[in-house]
Homo-oligomer: A and B are copies of this chain.
Amino acid sequence: MSVTAAQGFTAAGVAAGLKENGNPDLALVVNQGPRLAAAGVFTSNRVKAAPVLWSEQVLAGGTVSAVVLNSGGANACTGPLGFQDTHATAEKVADVLGYSAGEVAVASTGLIGLRLPMDKLLPGIERAAAALTPDGGEGAAIAIKTTDTVHKTAAFRSEDGWTVGGMAKGAGMLAPGLATMLVVLTTDADLDAGSLDKALRAATRTTFDRVDSDGCMSTNDTVLLLASGASGSAPEYAAFAEAVRAVCADLAQQLVRDAEGASKDIRIEVVGAATEEDAVEVGRSIARNNLLKCALHGEDPNWGRVLSAIGTTSAAFEPDQLNVAINDVWVCKNGSVGEDRELVDMRYREVRVTADLAAGSQSAVIWTNDLTADYVHENSAYSS
């Protein structure tokens, strides 16, 4: 049910030796056609890794034959030589598979500021190419893991015969624009690059872009959507866009549930906003409040920290009209004490924070995680 759920795709994951522990670290996803249409969205960080700079150029053409992804090194902040490494990676895939390098997207994840061991990566590509199969999606998903504890895949099958499938990796540096992650989606629907681009941007805007696990934006975020047309079915745009959104939402949820060190998945819904932008700004401010994230970790329904986070935004609201619910108990009404906080049951992993700005009818949902000692331990010991 991964990137090979749709017809017309093969994939593989191998251990090229980039990771010291010998785990799989190189994935290849190949579009067998007949179409080679593609779209991509990338990190909005101005410090972009070499593979992001490369793949942005590739995607500008709207055609992708293959995607090569590696864990074990981000190839970010590696200068012109790092960009040459990405170029050589694409050339190697093109050589082995008989494509043009300009149609090979590259994605990398791992430590920033280290060159990739090309003497291991290039032979790994040959082995991955030799291992390509129509059921290699799971292996590919496993090979892109970094601190992920599980690999992440999803798929949607239409009754009309077309499918959208995908894989994702991401556990830390999760923040909007995008969350720190690599995602490859595939479909056998027969659609052109323009339709793919429109559907992908619409889907990421309300899914991956609204996961804000730790407020840190990566240099490597990449989300690709490849279409083979192999089903022979050309779906209505709306139905296809909804399928892409559903698969992105599924994968985004898996990222939240596997966030580094987290013990709570926190769903922040901002309602009553004057504009959707206001709702998103307030949601992100709440999601990034370390004190609140600690309180929710401790199962303390500390609504004062929600209000102090809202108060730092430029959204339209009056302080004495704000309402906040935690797990559906309205602990803050009209900017002051509401229902008894003892009524809030926080035993479960999911926590729902609802902030009502009482300023309009717009809303947005942002997902984040709690802040835990395990997060600190993982990120003070692991260089990433």
Contact = CB atoms under 8 A, between A and B. Distances in A.
Interface string A262-273: 000000000000
A112 to B, nearest CB: 3
Interface residues of A, number: 64
A122 interface: no
Interface stretch (A232-240, A243-251, A328-336): A328-336
A48 B300 contact: no
Interface in A287-301: 288-291, 294-295, 297-298, 300
Contact of A291 (B45, B76, B172, B297): B172
Contact of A217 (B45, B214, B308, B383): B308
A336 B77 contact: yes
A100 interface: no
Interface stretch (A13-21, A62-70, A148-156, A367-375): A367-375
A24 interface: no
B336 A79 contact: yes
Given A47-B307, A112-B307, A373 B383 contact: no
B336 A218 contact: no
Interface string A303-318: 1110111111100010
A241 interface: no
A48 B173 contact: no
A interface: dominant SS: loop
A216 interface: yes
Contacts of A379: 290-291, 294-295, 298
Contact of A308 (B79, B218, B290, B332): B218
Interface in A32-89: 45-48, 74, 76-79, 82
Nearest to A336: B79
A376 interface: yes
B311 A45 contact: yes
Interface string A341-384: 00000000000000000000000000000011101111111011
10 contacts: A45-B311, A47-B310, A77-B307, A77-B332, A79-B336, A214-B290, A216-B305, A294-B379, A298-B380, A372-B376
Interface of A: 45-48, 74, 76-79, 82, 111-115, 172-173, 214-219, 288-291, 294-295, 297-298, 300, 302-305, 307-313, 317, 319-320, 322, 332, 334-337, 371-373, 375-381, 383-384
